[in-house]
């Protein structure tokens, strides 16, 4: 994209240097197809056990390639100027780049179902079916496709366009997380960075404590929000216009068709990919607001959400794969703003690395706390009482930092 702007009467040209790089996001939903020639080649060489390792491409991309590329490429540093925002928002190339994820996601899920259940993969060089090393790799890779698909649904679900809202639910169907469409938009964005938000992690709360709290809390919240909406319309919560129900129904129909085609042997893949895909979303939720809190005002309400209530990261490569999700502070300030116009905001606290590097760190609480706790304390100028502290450790945390907090 090239746009003419006129600061102080001079003409300058601004170009989105990432315009065509956004298509790299399509590597994720196509990677299961891309590794098939490698699998075939390894089998031709007689490396039949090693030929199953490429099916782990999803976790390899997530835990190895993205962190390495983030470290190598570094931060972005480019924000669109005000003069180009409207034109950039209206450029349909960017939204079509997101739409393209969806058919590839479904194709990869179907391919994964076939590879997981096929009894004869001789065309790939296997003697019969995949071993469990390959099958688990396929399920995990399908889970990565679905997990990143939740982020694609996140981008679409915030838009006012009815088509994009439906596409959001369609994208959530394979990973069986349709309630996210409701809870994220009408729950999380209202309660973000408060103790009441199940998707905002607390200082001292481990990821393994956060995971069940956010999964079940988000489910309850999504159902409650839709039930309240339908009761105002004098409808039963069990009416099909309930967006939680119709989103879940999409999952039921999709997987019922696949189970009818591929049989009950597909059930382990269904379960593994759904759990792993959802856990990837929740690990991102965990790191986006860790320890941050909006203060309560005298009227009992929370202060307005500002860039200081989200952890930000401007590492370019992960941003290309996640549609600028790491520019999270601007996203919460402007939820309907399209990904290509999101900016890295001044005043927001910054993560030490990109999401690609940090997702794995969230699994190890001592490492995570060593990395992040001092950053929360520094963000609040040494006053830990201003943080969102997990009740289980509140007394211990206040005792540890008591002299500073006082």
Q: Is residue 128 part of a domain?
A: yes
d(CA 126, CA 72): 37
Q: What is the pLDDT of residue 11?
A: 46
| DSSP conformational letter for 76 | -
Task: Taking residues 51-79, report their average pLDDT.
Answer: 94
Distance CA 235, CA 142 (A): 37
Asked if the structure places residue 83 within a domain, the reply is yes
Q: Are 330 and 342 in contact (CB under 8 A)?
A: yes
**Percent of the chain clearing pLDDT 70 (strictly above):** 96
Task: Read off the pLDDT band of 405 (50, 70, 90).
Answer: very low
Are 98 and 155 in contact, with CB atoms under 8 Å apart?
A: yes
Q: Which residues pair with 4 in a beta bridge?
A: 13
Structure tokens at 405: 């907090």
Number of domains within the chain? 1
Distances in Å between the alpha carbon of 175 and those of 252, 274, 277, 289? 11, 5, 6, 24
Q: Is residue 6 part of a domain?
A: no
Position 248 in a domain = yes
Which position has the token pair 């907090």?
405
Q: 297: number of CA atoms within 13 Å, CB side?
A: 6
CA 68-80-324 angle, to 5 degrees, is: 40
Q: How far is CA 69 from CA 66, 302, 319, 337, 362, in A?
A: 5, 39, 11, 27, 19
State both tokens at 2. 């090239």
Give the mean pLDDT of 245-264.
97
Angle, in degrees to the nearest 10, between helices 101-117 and 267-288: 140
5 found inside a domain: no
Tokens of 312: 């930000």
| pLDDT(9) > 60 | no
Is 12 a member of any domain? no
**Residue-range definition of the domain harbouring residue 378:** 21-401
Average pLDDT score over residue span 192-218:
96
Give domain status of residue 358, yes or no.
yes
331 in any annotated domain: yes
- 34-64 residue pLDDT tens: 999 999 999 999 999 999 999 999 999 999 9
């Amino acid at each position: 994209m090239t746009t003419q702007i006129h600061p102080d009467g001079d003409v300058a040209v601004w170009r989105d240097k990432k315009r065509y790089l956004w298509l790299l996001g399509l590597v994720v939903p196509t990677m299961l197809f891309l590794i098939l020639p490698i699998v075939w080649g390894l089998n031709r060489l007689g490396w039949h056990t090693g030929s199953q390792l490429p099916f782990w491409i999803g976790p390899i991309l997530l835990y190895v390639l993205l962190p390495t590329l983030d470290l190598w490429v570094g931060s972005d540093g480019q924000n669109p100027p005000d003069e180009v925002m409207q034109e950039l928002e209206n450029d349909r190339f960017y939204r079509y780049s997101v739409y393209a994820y969806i058919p590839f996601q479904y194709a990869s899920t179907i391919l994964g179902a076939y590879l997981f259940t096929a009894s004869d993969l001789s065309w790939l060089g296997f003697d019969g079916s995949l071993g469990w090393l390959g099958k688990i790799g396929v399920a995990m890779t399908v889970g990565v496709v679905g997990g990143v698909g939740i982020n694609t649904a996140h981008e679409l679900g915030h838009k006012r366009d009815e088509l994009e809202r439906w596409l959001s639910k369609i994208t959530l169907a394979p990973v069986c997380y349709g309630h996210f469409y409701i809870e994220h938009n009408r729950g999380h964005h209202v309660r973000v960075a408060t103790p009441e938000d199940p998707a905002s992690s607390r200082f001292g709360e481990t990821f393994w404590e956060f995971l069940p709290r956010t999964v079940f809390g988000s489910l309850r919240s999504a159902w409650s929000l839709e039930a309240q909406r339908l009761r105002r319309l004098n409808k039963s919560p069990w009416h099909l216009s309930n967006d939680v129900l119709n989103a879940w129904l999409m999952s039921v129909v999709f997987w019922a068709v696949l189970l009818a085609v591929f049989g009950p042997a597909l059930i382990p893949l269904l379960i593994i990919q759904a759990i792993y895909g959802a856990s990837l979303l929740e690990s991102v939720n965990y790191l986006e607001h860790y320890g941050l809190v909006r203060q309560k005002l005298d009227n009992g309400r929370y202060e307005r959400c500002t860039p200081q209530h989200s952890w930000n990261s401007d590492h370019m490569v992960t941003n290309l794969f996640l549609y600028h999700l790491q520019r999270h502070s601007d996203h919460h300030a402007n939820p309907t703003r399209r990904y290509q116009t999101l900016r890295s905001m001044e005043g927001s606290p910054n993560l030490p690395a990109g999401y690609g590097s940090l997702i794995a760190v969230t699994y190890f609480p001592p490492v995570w706390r060593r990395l992040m706790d001092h950053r929360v304390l520094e963000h609040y100028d040494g006053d830990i009482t201003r943080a969102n502290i997990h009740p289980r450790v509140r007394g211990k945390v206040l005792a540890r930092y008591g002299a500073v907090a006082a």
